[in-house]
Structure 1
Amino acid sequence: MNARDPSLPLQADELSGLADFAASAWDEEIVPALTDYIAIPAKSPMFDADWAKHGYIDRVTRDAAAWVESKKVAGLKLEVIRVEGRTPVIFFEVPATKSGSTDTICLYGHLDKQPEFSGWRSDLGPWTPKYENGLLYGRGGADDGYAVYAAITAILALDKQGIPRPRCVGIIESCEESGSSDLPIYIDMLRERLGNVSLVVCLDSGAGNYDQLWLTTSLRGMVSGVLKVEVLTEGIHSGDASGLVPSSFRILRQVLDRLEDSKTGRLLPDSFHCEVPAARVAQARATAAILQDEVWKRYPWSCGADGAFTLPTTTDPVEGLLNRTWRPTLSVTGVEGFPDLGNAGNVLRPYTAFKLSLRLPPLIDGNEASLKLKTLLEDNAPYNAKVTFVPDGRAGALGATGWNTPELSPWLDQALNEASNAHFGAPLGYIGQGGTIPLMSMLQKGFPKAQMMVCGVLGPKSNAHGPNEFLHVPYGKRLTAAVAQVMAAHP
């Protein structure tokens, strides 16, 4: 055990030591490892049905595990756990260096990726890593392949300086982009080995800017699936049938009108809404004061015919923050049943299918919402058409439930602010995120007394899931040092 008194705050030389170690590790080891990682198309099972045959997920898992073991962390135990037919999970544990500590810090990340998407810059690509001006471009580096590398580096940064810390465990999954549907099986298997988890550090989130540490205070839930409307068994001449055979697309529009007000985007069923807690409204106001119009100006808006930019749903920063974090929203993310424009003849199509992504407020149960959505869309179909909605969920989970962080304990609130000031020169920012991390609600239920540090490198224009995704390496360096400092402050 270390001789340093853990009750003493970190000194200036120790803080600079954390920062220097993290920066050096990123330059010499993490960026090269992530460059190799980005080049591997380890798409999540939802987007690669033959993931097991292709072997890409297994490869990035093996590479990450080998990298961790090569760091020779004292007392490290690592296991790649595989259940037949399921994606693998890396589980590691490192004993405490703080005398008398019985608590555990759980660090989380994932290695699976979203699909390619279109629109990449001509010199970039999803599987073509490029490091330019501090930005590492390519799919998955920021979302969030870096997590396991940053987590181990934070542990090493403390151990190299003899700064005491609690026991640490890591869960690195490879099914997050498919809703973490494999993860509950592994959590049940690992429950006893996890120990007394009192702090969860999740590195799969975002940042309001690159100027301070940001704590994620909430995550939306999600129901995704395929809505399909069928009217014919085969396509027929549109001149012969249109006006008599109803358009599958028109029927689909009518069905969606049950769910969404197309003029405003508001979701119509009250059951998909919840009251926003007063504390989250207050935090949204504080964050809006920091970010101001950058809340909406950060997006790559297109220009209209008159050269003016497309406008957001609101230019009020507070309302914008609440819209993207606490209010339900529907997106259509894919279509089927349409030929491409070059092959679009005068044919009335037999069916139309939309891939729907319904983001839910953090307090709405994902499974219940999925069942209600299915009933809403399928019942009483116009023209007696065949209307089906099939959720994407696997392993019995029809939808993902969101998460609202418990009240911060005084020690964590202080530690986060001190870490932000030490490594960014600015106080901690609080922000809700519109994305979904199913693990957080799972861990909250399993460890109801645990504190949650949810953060990440996905700041402005980093564009996870879209074209030109990048990892802001300078921010990653500072975030790694900040995580180490918070771990050291664990009481």
Structure 2
Amino acid sequence: MNARDPHLPLQADEATALGAFAERVWDDEIVPALTDYIAIPAKSPMFDADWAANGHIEKVLTQAAAWVEAKKVAGLKLEVVRIPGRTPVIFFEVPSTKSGSDDTIVLYGHLDKQPEFSGWRSDLGPWTPKYENGLLYGRGGADDGYAVYASLTAIMALDQQGIPRPRCVGIIETCEESGSYDLPAYIDILKPRLGNVSLVVCLDSGAGNYEQLWLTTSLRGMVSGVLKVEVLTEGIHSGDASGAVPSSFRILRQVLDRLEDSKTGRLLPESFHCEIPGVRLEQARATAAILKEEVYKRMPWACGADGGPVLPVTTDPVEVLLNRTWRPTLSVVGVDGFPELKNAGNVLRPYTAFKLSLRLPPLIDGNEAALKLKALLEDNAPYNAKVTFTPDGRAGAFGATGWNTPDLSPWLSQALNDASQTHFGAPVGYIGQGGTIPLMSMLQKGFPKAQMMVCGVLGPKSNAHGPNEFLHVPYGKRLTAAVAQVMAAHP
């Protein structure tokens, strides 16, 4: 189909042209498109129960689909796939330009967003995009509204130069920030149309720095849900009730002590731990040698008791990396049953509820962990209090399973390093991520022979989910070109 010999390696001028094309499209089209995207509060269903009626998800999906179709890529077909009662999915496909290839590259991203959160800089906000010094601020741009735009740009960069590539399909969901509980139904429908998947490119991950390409080697799983302790039907004067009525907060503390050592943060049930593979230990040591103390110094530490910063759990960079990627951790991310401080009268409250986020090692089954966690927290409640743990999710999908990348094929290992050297001037880095992308374990099971290129723009201080989230645009440009170069190297 192309005059260019598909067996020839990418030439230096071709690789340079990929970077120039990506930069031009980012400046002229992607940054404006993402500016519009950020302004729309397209919160994931977990955070917007009326998402369908509010129409924000529909709006960002329609805008992204229109952008893709407007590019007029040869042979491109796009469909918004809908299942009643579920968030929609964009599915697009572009035919192969490589003679004799029956392989498929799957490109993945999502358009739903986390909620607002508090603490944004006075001149910033979740839905008020601002482009400043190469950083595009606002909710969702980096996590990961850019993915659909960057994916198609990588395809266009190759086609513009006549560089052969396999067939490409895109899956862009709108439920990822809620745990992707809608996605399995779509994967079941789309699997016959995916073809022979040999490479998955996922652009929903992070980077250790902005100086090189980073490949994500593992993702943690997660169980989230609400732990609630009820002791009364209504609040009572604390002077009258305390000492007679057990505090719901004290009971909740006792229940959590079954799960976590409050002094160290170690999760106590051994069933929530797994053995760390030797190759991941080696990669963690290599990454620690690159990033050094920045793996914890990059956090926005508060001022501590002695005027210095609050101290990390450990100052050993290797242990920091392993703690946040291969060990289970508990975070309390929300509370209910508490009045605001200004309205906090002397009342013993009837209940306390915590929203828990339990991150699981990559090799632990998420659903099994959810069931074990529920039993651990609910059984033998102190004082016979009503203790309930309600996991998020639906249809039995109460926990997300993590993912550990399969061994890299020699061609992919070489292509990643070549792309990093070409577009960043440094070798590729390997890093585990503490977040969760449920699709990866789904695709790994469905296509066990496929190679996985999981990467993203969430580098130091980009702060996805929190205040002042930003997309590092120069990194996004280089990452797009690197993805194109890896696709060109597909054997």
TM-score surpassing 0.5? yes
Partner in structure 2 of residue 407 of structure 1: 407
Partner in structure 2 of residue 364 of structure 1: 364
CA apart distance, 1:12: 1.4
SS of alignment partner, residue 229 of structure 2: strand
SS of alignment partner, residue 201 of structure 1: strand
CA apart distance, 1:458: 0.2
Q: Does 1:475 align with 2:475?
A: yes
Equivalent-residue separation in structure 2 for 1:486 and 1:129 (angstroms): 31
SS of alignment partner, residue 390 of structure 1: strand
Q: Look up the equivalent residue of 2:475 and give its one-letter code.
A: Y
Mapping for residues 44-443 of structure 1, pairs under 5 Å? 44-443=44-443
CA apart distance, 1:393: 1.5
SS of alignment partner, residue 192 of structure 1: helix
Deviations for 1:409-439, whole angstroms, at most 9, x for unmatched residues? 0000000000000000000000000000000
SS of alignment partner, residue 332 of structure 1: strand
Q: Look up the equivalent residue of 1:464 and give its one-letter code.
A: A
Equivalent-residue separation in structure 2 for 1:5 and 1:390 (angstroms): 57
Partner in structure 1 of residue 465 of structure 2: 465
Equivalent-residue separation in structure 1 for 2:381 and 2:192 (angstroms): 49
Deviations for 1:346-385, whole angstroms, at most 9, x for unmatched residues? 0000000000000000000000000000000000000000
Equivalent-residue separation in structure 1 for 2:480 and 2:63 (angstroms): 20
Q: Look up the equivalent residue of 2:63 and give its one-letter code.
A: D
Q: Look up the equivalent residue of 2:199 and give its one-letter code.
A: L
Deviations for 1:135-175, whole angstroms, at most 9, x for unmatched residues? 00000000000000000000000000000000000000000
Equivalent-residue separation in structure 2 for 1:179 and 1:14 (angstroms): 39
CA apart distance, 1:295: 0.6
Equivalent-residue separation in structure 2 for 1:228 and 1:215 (angstroms): 39
Q: Tell me the matched-pair count.
A: 491
Q: Look up the equivalent residue of 1:469 and give its one-letter code.
A: E
SS of alignment partner, residue 169 of structure 1: strand
Partner in structure 1 of residue 15 of structure 2: 15
Deviations for 1:214-270, whole angstroms, at most 9, x for unmatched residues? 000000000000000000000000000101100000000000000000000000000
Equivalent-residue separation in structure 1 for 2:49 and 2:72 (angstroms): 36
Unaligned runs of 5+ in 2: none
CA apart distance, 1:395: 2.8
Equivalent-residue separation in structure 1 for 2:449 and 2:418 (angstroms): 23
Retained in 2: the 8 A contact 1:107–1:168? yes
Deviations for 1:46-99, whole angstroms, at most 9, x for unmatched residues? 000000010000100000000000000000000001111100000000000001
Deviations for 1:158-216, whole angstroms, at most 9, x for unmatched residues? 00000000000000000000000000000000011000000000000000000000000
Q: Look up the equivalent residue of 2:347 and give its one-letter code.
A: V
Retained in 2: the 8 A contact 1:109–1:171? yes
Q: Look up the equivalent residue of 2:67 and give its one-letter code.
A: W
CA apart distance, 1:281: 0.2
Q: Look up the equivalent residue of 1:94 and give its one-letter code.
A: V
TM-score scaled to structure 2, two decimals?
A: 1.00
Partner in structure 2 of residue 30 of structure 1: 30
Equivalent-residue separation in structure 2 for 1:67 and 1:318 (angstroms): 42
Q: Look up the equivalent residue of 1:363 and give its one-letter code.
A: L
Give RMSD over aligned pairs: 0.4
Equivalent-residue separation in structure 1 for 2:192 and 2:241 (angstroms): 64
Equivalent-residue separation in structure 1 for 2:108 and 2:395 (angstroms): 21
CA apart distance, 1:445: 0.3
CA apart distance, 1:394: 1.7
State which drifts further: 406-415 or 297-306: 297-306
What is the aligned-residue identity percentage? 86
Unaligned runs of 5+ in 1: none
Deviations for 1:256-315, whole angstroms, at most 9, x for unmatched residues? 000000000000000000000000000000000000000100100000232110011000
Equivalent-residue separation in structure 1 for 2:198 and 2:469 (angstroms): 33
SS of alignment partner, residue 475 of structure 1: helix
Equivalent-residue separation in structure 2 for 1:79 and 1:8 (angstroms): 34
Equivalent-residue separation in structure 2 for 1:455 and 1:102 (angstroms): 25
Q: Look up the equivalent residue of 1:479 and give its one-letter code.
A: L
Retained in 2: the 8 A contact 1:42–1:56? yes
Q: Look up the equivalent residue of 1:138 and give its one-letter code.
A: G
Equivalent-residue separation in structure 1 for 2:320 and 2:343 (angstroms): 40
State which drifts further: 311-320 or 4-13: 4-13
SS of alignment partner, residue 20 of structure 2: helix
Q: Look up the equivalent residue of 1:278 and give its one-letter code.
A: G
CA apart distance, 1:336: 0.2
CA apart distance, 1:6: 1.2
Equivalent-residue separation in structure 2 for 1:54 and 1:395 (angstroms): 24
Q: Look up the equivalent residue of 1:128 and give its one-letter code.
A: T
TM-score scaled to structure 1, two decimals?
A: 1.00
Equivalent-residue separation in structure 2 for 1:396 and 1:272 (angstroms): 19
Retained in 2: the 8 A contact 1:182–1:395? no
Equivalent-residue separation in structure 1 for 2:215 and 2:16 (angstroms): 22
Equivalent-residue separation in structure 1 for 2:105 and 2:288 (angstroms): 31
